[in-house]
Chain A
Amino acid sequence: MNILVPEKWLKSITKTEYDLSKIANLLTLRSSSVEYILDKEGDKVMDVEITVNRGDNLSILGIARELHAILSAEGENVTFNNPLNEIYTDELGTKDLLKINVTDTKLNPRFTALVLKDLKIGESPEYIKQRLKQVGIRPINNIVDITNYIMLETGQPMHSFDFDKIKNGIMTLRESKKGEYIITLDGQKRDLPENSIIIEDSEKIIDLCGIMGGLNSAIDENTKNIVLFTQIYEPLHIRKTSLALNHRTDAALRFEKGIDPSLAPRALLRGLKILKESTNFEVASKLYDLNSTTSENRKVALTYKKLELYANTKIEPKTTQNILAALGFKILENLEKQITVGVPSYRLSDVEIEEDLIEEVVRIYGYDKIGLILPPNYYDTDNFKPDNSIEKLVKYYLRDNGFNELITYSFVPKNQVDLDIAIKIDNPLGKDTEYMRTSHEPSLAAAISQNKDSVKVFELSNRYAKGSKELPTEELMLTALTNCTNHTNELKNKLTGIFKLLNIDDVEYKYPTNDTLVILINKSRVGELRIKDIYSYFELYFDLLVKNYREYPYVAPIVSFATIIEDLTIQTSLNSKAGEIIDSLGSLDKKIIKVEHKDDFVKSGKRALTLSFYYQDNTKNITDTEVQKLRNNLINFIENDLKYKVDRPS
Chain B
Amino acid sequence: MEVESILQKLNQELLQASNPKQLEVIKLNYLGRSGIINDLAQKIKEIKPEQRSEFGKQLNLIKQEVTKILESHKIKDSENKLEIDNSIPDKMPSTGSLHPTTHAIFQIQDILSQIGFVRKRYREIDDDWHPFKALNMPDNHPARDEWETFFCENGKWVLTPHTSNGQIWEMENKKPPIKMLNITKTYRRQISPKHSPMFHQFEGLYVDKNVSIAHLKGTLDYFIKGFFGSNRETRIRPYHFKFTEPSFEVDITCDVCKGKGCKVCKAGWLEIGGAGMVHPNVLKNVGINSKVYNGFAFGFGVERPYMMKGDINIPDIRMFYTTKLDVLKNF
Which of A24-32, A143-151, A286-294, A627-635 lies at the binding interface?
A24-32
Q: How far is the CA of A29 from the CA of B249 in the complex (A)?
A: 10
Q: How far is the CB of B190 from chain A (nearest CB, A)?
A: 9
Which of B25-33, B80-88, B140-148 lies at the binding interface?
B140-148
Cβ of A405 within 8 Å of any chain B Cβ, yes or no, is: yes
Cβ of A508 within 8 Å of any chain B Cβ, yes or no, is: no
Which residue of chain B has the shortest Cβ distance to A472 in the bound complex?
B125
Q: How far is the CA of A374 from the CA of B223 in the complex (A)?
A: 11
Cβ of A245 within 8 Å of any chain B Cβ, yes or no, is: no
Q: How many contacts A-B (CB < 8 Å)?
A: 231
Cβ of B304 within 8 Å of any chain A Cβ, yes or no, is: no
Query: Which residues 162-199 of B have a CB within 8 angstroms of A?
Result: 177, 179, 185, 187, 189, 191, 197-198
Cβ of A53 within 8 Å of any chain B Cβ, yes or no, is: yes
Q: How far is the CA of A456 from the CA of B266 in the complex (A)?
A: 42
B140 near A464: Cβ-Cβ < 8 Å: no
Which residue of chain B has the shortest Cβ distance to A455 in the bound complex?
B325
Residue from B189, B213, B329 within 8 A of A310 (CB atoms): B213
9 contacts between A and B (CB under 8 A): A30-B238, A36-B266, A52-B143, A367-B236, A426-B150, A426-B153, A426-B154, A455-B325, A471-B126
Which of A122-130, A427-435, A524-532, A591-599 lies at the binding interface?
A427-435
Q: How far is the CA of A399 from the CA of B98 in the complex (A)?
A: 6
Q: How far is the CB of A618 from chain B (nearest CB, A)?
A: 33
Cβ of B273 within 8 Å of any chain A Cβ, yes or no, is: no
Which residue of chain A has the shortest Cβ distance to B149 in the bound complex?
A427
Given contacts A29-B235, A311-B212, A404-B97, contact A371 B151 (CB under 8 A): no
Given contacts A356-B245, A405-B98, A427-B150, contact A380 B237 (CB under 8 A): no
Query: Which residues 19-50 of A have a CB within 8 angstroms of B?
Result: 24-25, 28-33, 35-36
Residues of A close to B325: CB separation below 8 A? 404, 447, 450-451, 455, 457
Query: Which residues 76-127 of B have a CB within 8 angstroms of A?
Result: 94-99, 101-102, 106, 109, 113, 115-116, 118-121, 123-127
B125 near A464: Cβ-Cβ < 8 Å: yes
Q: How far is the CB of A40 from chain B (nearest CB, A)?
A: 18
Cβ of A260 within 8 Å of any chain B Cβ, yes or no, is: no
A425 near B213: Cβ-Cβ < 8 Å: no
Q: How far is the CA of A91 from the CA of B267 in the complex (A)?
A: 51
What would 20 more interface pairs be, CB under 8 Å, given A400-B95, A406-B323? A52-B143, A52-B146, A309-B210, A353-B245, A370-B217, A374-B115, A374-B219, A377-B115, A388-B109, A388-B118, A404-B328, A405-B96, A406-B328, A407-B99, A423-B152, A423-B153, A427-B151, A443-B323, A466-B153, A471-B126
Given contacts A423-B152, A425-B151, contact A375 B211 (CB under 8 A): yes
A476 near B121: Cβ-Cβ < 8 Å: yes
A425 near B125: Cβ-Cβ < 8 Å: no
Q: How far is the CB of A384 from chain B (nearest CB, A)?
A: 9
Which residue of chain B has the shortest Cβ distance to A407 in the bound complex?
B99
B213 near A388: Cβ-Cβ < 8 Å: no
A interface, how many residues as a size bin?
Answer: 35 or more
B127 near A470: Cβ-Cβ < 8 Å: yes
Q: How far is the CA of A476 from the CA of B99 in the complex (A)?
A: 17
Cβ of B65 within 8 Å of any chain A Cβ, yes or no, is: no
Which residue of chain A has the shortest Cβ distance to B211 in the bound complex?
A375
Q: Secondary structure of the A side of the interface?
A: mixed
Which residue of chain B has the shortest Cβ distance to A453 in the bound complex?
B325
A402 near B96: Cβ-Cβ < 8 Å: yes
B237 near A429: Cβ-Cβ < 8 Å: no
Given contacts A239-B142, A472-B125, contact A456 B96 (CB under 8 A): yes
Residues of A close to B294: CB separation below 8 A? 309
Residue from A257, A382, A474 within 8 A of B125 (CB atoms): A474
Residue from B102, B177, B213 within 8 A of A395 (CB atoms): B102
Q: How far is the CB of A464 from chain B (nearest CB, A)?
A: 6
Residues of B close to A470: CB separation below 8 A? 127
Given contacts A367-B235, A388-B109, contact A35 B266 (CB under 8 A): yes
Q: How far is the CA of A464 from the CA of B121 in the complex (A)?
A: 15
Residues of A close to B94: CB separation below 8 A? 402
A423 near B189: Cβ-Cβ < 8 Å: no
The contact string, 1 if C-beta is below 8 Å from chain A, for chain B 254-283, is 000000000000110000000001011000
Cβ of A378 within 8 Å of any chain B Cβ, yes or no, is: yes
Which residue of chain B has the shortest Cβ distance to A410 in the bound complex?
B198
Q: How far is the CB of A449 from chain B (nearest CB, A)?
A: 9
Most interface-central of B150, B154, B247 (chain A CB within 10 A):
B150
Residues of A close to B206: CB separation below 8 A? 375
Residue from A240, A371, A382, A462 within 8 A of B214 (CB atoms): A371
Cβ of B24 within 8 Å of any chain A Cβ, yes or no, is: no
The contact string, 1 if C-beta is below 8 Å from chain B, for chain A 196-224, is 00000000000000000000000000000
Residues of B close to A54: CB separation below 8 A? 240
Residue from A24, A355, A464 within 8 A of B279 (CB atoms): A355
Residues of B within 8 A of A (CB): 94-99, 101-102, 106, 109, 113, 115-116, 118-121, 123-127, 140, 142-143, 145-146, 150-155, 157, 159, 177, 179, 185, 187, 189, 191, 197-198, 206, 208, 210-215, 217-219, 221-222, 235-240, 245-249, 266-267, 277, 279-280, 294, 320-325, 328-329
Residue from B119, B159, B324 within 8 A of A425 (CB atoms): B159
Which of A158-166, A358-366, A605-613 lies at the binding interface?
A358-366
Residues of A within 8 A of B (CB): 24-25, 28-33, 35-36, 51-54, 235-236, 239-240, 256-257, 309-312, 353, 355-356, 358-359, 362-363, 367-368, 370-378, 380, 382-383, 385, 388, 392, 395-396, 398-411, 423-429, 433, 436, 443-444, 446-447, 450-451, 455-457, 461-462, 464, 466, 470-472, 474, 476
Residues of A close to B120: CB separation below 8 A? 382
B97 near A405: Cβ-Cβ < 8 Å: yes
Given contacts A51-B239, A443-B323, contact A474 B123 (CB under 8 A): yes
B143 near A382: Cβ-Cβ < 8 Å: no
Most interface-central of A24, A388, A401 (chain B CB within 10 A):
A388
B116 near A426: Cβ-Cβ < 8 Å: no
B238 near A359: Cβ-Cβ < 8 Å: yes
Q: How far is the CA of A216 from the CA of B141 in the complex (A)?
A: 33
Q: How far is the CA of A404 from the CA of B330 in the complex (A)?
A: 10
Q: How far is the CB of A26 from chain B (nearest CB, A)?
A: 11
Residues of B close to A33: CB separation below 8 A? 237, 239, 249
Given contacts A310-B213, A363-B246, contact A353 B115 (CB under 8 A): no
B322 near A450: Cβ-Cβ < 8 Å: yes
B238 near A32: Cβ-Cβ < 8 Å: yes
Residue from B95, B126, B279, B320 within 8 A of A399 (CB atoms): B95
Which residue of chain A has the shortest Cβ distance to B268 in the bound complex?
A25
Residue from A24, A239, A355 within 8 A of B246 (CB atoms): A355
Residues of A close to B198: CB separation below 8 A? 409-411
Q: How far is the CA of A505 from the CA of B291 in the complex (A)?
A: 52
Given contacts A404-B325, A408-B323, contact A380 B116 (CB under 8 A): yes
Residues of B close to A450: CB separation below 8 A? 322-325
Residue from B99, B119, B219, B267 within 8 A of A406 (CB atoms): B99
Residues of B close to A406: CB separation below 8 A? 99, 323, 328
A375 near B266: Cβ-Cβ < 8 Å: no
Q: How far is the CA of A647 from the CA of B34 in the complex (A)?
A: 31
Q: How far is the CA of A67 from the CA of B127 in the complex (A)?
A: 42
B96 near A403: Cβ-Cβ < 8 Å: yes
Which residue of chain A has the shortest Cβ distance to B328 in the bound complex?
A404
Residues of B close to A309: CB separation below 8 A? 210, 212, 294
Residues of A close to B116: CB separation below 8 A? 375, 377-378, 380, 383
Q: How far is the CA of A455 from the CA of B322 in the complex (A)?
A: 14
Q: How far is the CB of B209 from chain A (nearest CB, A)?
A: 10
A407 near B96: Cβ-Cβ < 8 Å: no
B280 near A312: Cβ-Cβ < 8 Å: no
Q: How far is the CA of A159 from the CA of B277 in the complex (A)?
A: 40
Q: How far is the CA of A406 from the CA of B127 in the complex (A)?
A: 28
B189 near A427: Cβ-Cβ < 8 Å: yes
Residues of B close to A436: CB separation below 8 A? 125, 152, 159
Q: How far is the CB of B207 from chain A (nearest CB, A)?
A: 10
B99 near A433: Cβ-Cβ < 8 Å: no
